[in-house]
Amino acid sequence: MSASFERGVDAIRQAIDAPIASYFASCVHCGLCADACLFYTETGDPRYTPINKVEPMKRIWRQEFTLLGRITRLLGLVQPVTDEELAEWSRLTYDACSMCGRCSLVCPVGNDITYMIRKFREGLSLAGHAPPGVIDATRRTIELGSPMGVKLQTLMAQIKRQEAETGLEIPLDKVGADYLALLSSMEIVNYPEYLGALARVFHQAGVSWTLSTDAYEATNSGIQIGQSDLAAKVVQRIVDAAEKLGVKTVISPECGHAFMALRFEGPNLIGRRYKFDVVHILELLDQLRADGRIRFKGRDPRPLTYHDPCQIARRGGVIDPPRRLLGEIAENFQEMHETGKWNWCCGGGGGVSANDRAEELKLKSFKVKKRQLDELEVTTVVTSCANCRITFEEALEHYNMPVEVIGLAEMVADHLDAEEVNND
Amino acid sequence: MKDDSVLAYLKARGISRRGFLKFCAATTSMMALPPTMTAAVAQALATAQRPSVIWLSFQECTGCTESLTRSHSPSIERLIFDAISLDYHHTLMAASGEAAERARHEAMEKFHGRYLLLVDGSVPVKDGGVYSTIAGMTNLEMLKETAAGAAAIINIGTCAAYGGIPEARPNPTGAVPVSAIVKDKPIINVPGCPPIPVAITGVVAHYLTFGTVPELDSRQRPTAFYGDTIHDRCYRRPFYDRGLFAESFDDEGARKGWCLFKLGCRGPTTHNACATTKWNQGTSFPIQSGHGCIGCSEPHFWDTGSFYKAISVPTGPFAPAATAAAAAGAVAGGAMMLRNRHAKEKAVEAKQPVSPDDLEK
Amino acid sequence: MSDVEFLMWVRGPGLVMAFAIFVFGLILRLIEVYSLGHKPDLAPAREVTPGSPWRTMFTRSAPADGLLKKAPVLYIGGYIFHLGLFITFFLFIPHIEFLRNAIGIGWPGLPTPVVDFVAVITLLTLVLTLTVRIADPVKRFLSNADDYVGWTLTFLPVLTGWMAYHHFMLPYTWMLAIHIFTVMLLLIALPFGKLGHFFTLFISRWYNGNNFARKGVAS
């Protein structure tokens, strides 16, 4: 089987539901969504107006699912959507959108454009118009288990390294543990300290946890390319492992879309509720802090700020926990001007960072983050998403900005009160 | 030769020259002419011959004649009326029967091309016009016959001008205005149900003075009397402008003399002189008495819905059509629902399992 | 057709027909939208959330963070002309009388000179928003016939109503009839294009607010 225009359009038909119909019916072309989208504000290109990115889906809705639309189509007053148009729109819907959700928060008539982008990608992907870079990442996710091609042996090597560095054991496949921790390829390859941080925190807090060799990858490329069946495969892998191990809770790592995929889309993808809860690592860290199971010593003296990863904050509701944690371990924490659910996207999420075609546009869109940082006097940006971290690092280098980026989980681990650590 | 001029006639009735000039001044101002024209009016009237006037009454209630003749003290109207030679009028002439018809034909012959034809009442045309006949002749025939030699036709009252009450729905007699029958003569409409007396006599006075029809609007009404709407000259207008309306008859607003728009006043859409000239020698007019104008000088005034509902409110009824439309909407919606569900189901059925190969063509 | 006959038609069968089409379109659009269904969300909603779909239905009218400064004409102009439309339609005594005759209930209105003033402000603001729609690159890019026709059908009733009240230009009977006719056109178009947002926005805001609320975000 291969991609085809018909399969793509069928996927769009399947995806169009009452919310989407209400959104298209309500849009008054006010253009406010453009003012909320970093891809528009940093380029001035009106085609990047969020609602425009789903225009072909609107035409399909109107021409097929409304009486007036069907009549105008019958009379030849409107043209049906073509494959060429879907190909053209790929550059808008994939390259120029990270599914950050700002447009959905801003629209005066309440349109959830992010939701529509997500559904429109279902059609674009099966029509064969997903960007090549994203297709490759998805293929690797399904066939190899990781979008970056990280195999189990790579993970094992990193586990060994972190065990050596921390002097702690990292449990594997422990049946009956309370928590199953997941990782993202980006962390395994670029930020393996995350794993060590987990070990240190859970050791002090006395948390019973484990990794699983059957399911360690949380990054869900299926969500990013927008193909539900493939996304479901990734989730199912995790669900099977978690339920086999009988854990109470699965911890989503410092990766934005992983959290969105597992916590909010997952049950709908596999068609049933989980037998476990899902939390983001920040939620767990905050809970441990609140329960007094981890205590802190010393504060980071650097002037720093926090970047809210879109899928975790605005689209995931984890906004206060990082701030409470930073409140304990940072001395000079400055909020960005737009903060919390209003913070700006880094521009790399939603498949953009896997999309080589979109490299230039991604760097251009980062100027909004540059502006936010220029307003402050900070040396450091703290965040909780590995993809944001790599996007920041690459862009900061491109713009020659002397700012460093660190992960919050690691920072928390670095400030644990060492006297509290129980050595086995 | 007998001097049949207007002046002579008036003199014979004991009107002094001074009185005559006063009358001319009053006529001039009544016709909204500049005061300098008084001399011309006097000159014209002094030498004008009393014109022959034939007054035909068709489907009418005689209210127009009553309006004109109910002046209860000697007045300008009276004078004008007396200044013409009324050679034929059902109610007012002494003769009747064959003698009356003979008088009409004599006037038509003697003054052919020069007599004034005044008409009140509408003309029925349905079923050959049998619904109103005089001396065995239908109104339609009589009008055509008499109009042929007239110098001009003055339609007195809304019935003759626009069809009036007989023309109101369902118009069983096929009533039409005079202008629907006579197309080749100068026509002046003096509408009203009845018209204000001075509007009638003002037109006649103008004709006497100048021998021409006065300035008319697009409905052939003399602008001197019908140029403004009641609303434009209504003394209650400030209350309309402020939004102070009587809600019901004799409520507080009504007693305070507030605007009667909500009680159905047709002032805004009615052209007449009632608000300025008023009735009964300037005594009052309907609005001043507390009742809204019913628009009696306008065409189709009887068919504009309830007189007690404002002219701008919908006449409806909405419920039947809206219910049918709701049902139709539900049916159309139901059809779309079935179609939409079917389209989605078809898309689901056509769905194949997806592997990474399916992402590329 | 004479002026009186046109007036009698628009306020009689004309309005009845227009209102019927409006009702038809409203019900059709509601069923068209809801019939597409919405799969229940199997992911558990956050138990404690600052968000609420019912609140979003109304709070979404407030300007988004930082955007009032970026798009002041859109927000403030939008508030003004929407409020102006509401006031001129629902709080003008002859209109209240109109509705009282149609639906059986009335309510107090504002003094007519106030409504007159509001109507003028509304007209000017509508012209301003149209200018911005044409001048701003994003809005110009997005706009199509639906937007321009929708603007015109909204503008004309206010304009002709103002002209009728002031007996401006045409004789009152014509002006009143034309005013009611423009309202007919508006009623007919209302449920079908973007103007339908007057009722569909409550649906879209609810779904949006619900989505965010389940995730723990007030929107």
- Bridging pattern class, strands B137-138 and B133-134: antiparallel
- The per-residue pLDDT for range A183-215, each reduced to its tens digit, is 999 899 999 999 999 999 999 999 999 999 999
Distances (CA, A) of C103 to B243, B318, C9, C99, C182: 21, 9, 20, 6, 21
CB within 8 Å of chain B, chain C residues 98-127: 98, 101-102, 109-113, 115
Please give the pLDDT value at position A312.
96
Position A236: which residue type? Q
Nearest CB to B359: which of A6, A10, A130?
A: A130
Is residue A228 within 8 Å of residue A309, measured between CB atoms? no
Tokens 């609005």 found at: B287
Q: How sure is the predictor about B203, in pLDDT bands with cuts at 50, 70 and 90?
A: confident
Chain A residue at shortest CA distance from B337:
A65
Task: Give B352→chain A minimum CA distance, Å.
Answer: 9
Distances (CA, A) of C171 to A88, B266, B315, C4: 55, 14, 22, 11
Q: How sure is the predictor about A258, in pLDDT bands with cuts at 50, 70 and 90?
A: very high
Please give the pLDDT value at position A424.
44
Mean pLDDT over the full length of chain A: 95
Written as one string, the DSSP assignment of B140-153 is HHHHHHHHTTEEEE
CA C138/CA A301 separation, integer angstroms: 44
Question: Does A47 touch chain C if contact means CB atoms closer than 8 Å?
Answer: yes
**CB-based contacts of A285: which residues, under 8 Å, 6+ apart?**
A201, A294, A321, A325, A408, A409, A412
CA B130/CA B128 separation, integer angstroms: 6
Question: Does A13 touch chain B if contact means CB atoms closer than 8 Å?
Answer: yes
CA B59/CA B76 separation, integer angstroms: 28
Q: Output the pTM of the full model.
A: 0.90
Chain C residue at shortest CA distance from A22:
C204
Please give the pLDDT value at position B199.
87
Chain B residues whose beta carbon lies within 8 Å of the beta carbon of residue C24: 325-326, 328-329, 332
Q: Which residue has the higher pLDDT, B41 or C90?
A: C90
For B306-318, what is the mean pLDDT?
89
CB within 8 Å of chain A, chain C residues 134-153: 136-144, 147
Chain C residues whose beta carbon lies within 8 Å of the beta carbon of residue B312: 11, 94, 97-98, 176, 180
Q: How sure is the predictor about B73, in pLDDT bands with cuts at 50, 70 and 90?
A: very low
**CB-based contacts of A374: which residues, under 8 Å, 6+ apart?**
none
Q: Model ipTM? A: 0.96
Q: Is the pLDDT of residue B74 over 50?
A: no
Please give the pLDDT value at position B81.
65
Question: Does A84 touch chain B if contact means CB atoms closer than 8 Å?
Answer: no
CA A222/CA A239 separation, integer angstroms: 16
Nearest CB to B361: which of A3, A143, A225?
A: A3
Percent of chain A, pLDDT > 90? 95
In our burial notation (b when 16+ CB lie closer than 10 A, e otherwise), range C34-47 reads bbbeeeeebbeebe
- The candidate with the shortest Cα–Cα distance to A351, out of A185, A226, A187, is A226
Percent of chain B, pLDDT > 90? 58
- Most C CBs within 10 Å: which of B167, B269, B297, as the mutation test of the C interface? B269
Position C21: which residue type? I
Question: Does A75 touch chain C if contact means CB atoms closer than 8 Å?
Answer: no
Could C12 and B229 be called an inter-chain contact, meaning their C-beta atoms sit closer than 8 Å?
no
Q: Is the pLDDT of residue B210 over 70?
A: yes
Nearest CB to B344: which of A2, A6, A14?
A: A14
- Bridging pattern class, strands B52-57 and B115-120: parallel
Question: Does A264 touch chain B if contact means CB atoms closer than 8 Å?
Answer: no
- DSSP H or E run through C72: helix C72-72
CA A100/CA A38 separation, integer angstroms: 10
Q: Is the pLDDT of residue B72 over 60?
A: no
Please give the pLDDT value at position B52.
86
Is residue C130 within 8 Å of residue C151, measured between CB atoms? yes
Please give the pLDDT value at position B1.
44
- Quick one: tokens of C213? 């609320």
Residue ranges, chain C, pLDDT below 50: none
CB within 8 Å of chain C, chain A residues 341-400: 341-342
Most confident residue range from A49-53, B99-103, B278-282: A49-53
Chain B residue at shortest CA distance from C112:
B243
For A232-261, what is the mean pLDDT?
96
Chains contacting C with at least 3 CB pairs below 8 Å? A, B
- Quick one: tokens of A209? 């946890």
Tally of CB atoms within 10 A around B221:
26
For B53-72, what is the mean pLDDT?
85
Please give the pLDDT value at position B87.
80
Q: How sure is the predictor about B143, in pLDDT bands with cuts at 50, 70 and 90?
A: very high
